[in-house]
Amino acid sequence: MVEEVVDRARARQWDVRAGQVAIMIHSGSRGVGKHVGAMWRDRARSMWPKGQKFPPEGLFSLSLADQPEAVAGYMQAEATAANYGFLNRLLLAELLRQRLRELFGEVAAPLVYDLPHNITLPVEGPARRWITRKGACPAGLEQPVIIPGSMGAASYLLVGRGSPHLLGSASHGAGRATSRFEMGRRGRETEDLGLAGVDCITLREERRIEEAPAAYKPIGPVIACQVEAGLCDVVARMRPLMTFKA
């Protein structure tokens, strides 16, 4: 639910208002993206110069100057996975709209914005450049930015400021304070998962524990830090009422 509107002009422009029920869908390329990543990691490894020490953490690079065809092939494969993610969210949203219409009659539920947080995108300008964002989202000038909270914390709708020294980017969320493994190890013995007042529906109990609000850093200071740094400005704050975890 939209709990507070901070920037009324932009909220009106995006058809967002206080008290409105908002639906946020967080899903991506799933197995397609995993397959693309694994396949191209193996290909990049096979192209690594013989006798040269492997890079740390197995992050093998491809050279645009020396391997242009491989770079183009990878970019096409990544774009395919990203398009699958866009379509995935589109279909989930439409299925939800149809169900809401069955229950409540005509429901518009227009899309405010759809943005990825793991993707390589071209940079506008005379030079041929790309930015790879991992766990970060585009925050170009006047671009809508969605920074989700956890299942029990606020989420934020913001507007990007196109900060050049921070590559026109913002965070994807607050970031983890506790790993999934650690939450799973002690979760069932932890009474306070931070889900008070929030309905959490899941097919797998371990997901509810792994993704509990207690596993994440407080989102308020994370948002405040990015606003202060000139990455983005807050348009509205949303409070979770119900969460479905697959």
SS3 state of residue 233: strand
Contacts of residue 95, Cβ cutoff 8 Å, sequence gap at least 6: none
What residues pair up with 170 in beta bridges, in sequence order? 137
Q: How far apart are alpha carbons 232 and 42 in whole angstroms?
A: 37
User: Is 26 annotated as contributing to ligand binding?
Assistant: yes
Q: Which pLDDT tens digit goes with each residue over 54-64?
A: 998 888 988 88
User: Is 165 annotated as contributing to ligand binding?
Assistant: no
- Which residue ranges in the chain fall short of pLDDT 50? none
What tokens were used for 236? 């509205």
* pLDDT at 209 (0 to 100): 84
User: Is 35 annotated as contributing to ligand binding?
Assistant: no
Catalytic positions, written as ranges: 172
What residues pair up with 146 in beta bridges, in sequence order? 157
Q: Which pLDDT tens digit goes with each residue over 13-30?
A: 999 999 999 999 998 898
pTM of full prediction above 0.85:
yes
* pLDDT at 191 (0 to 100): 59
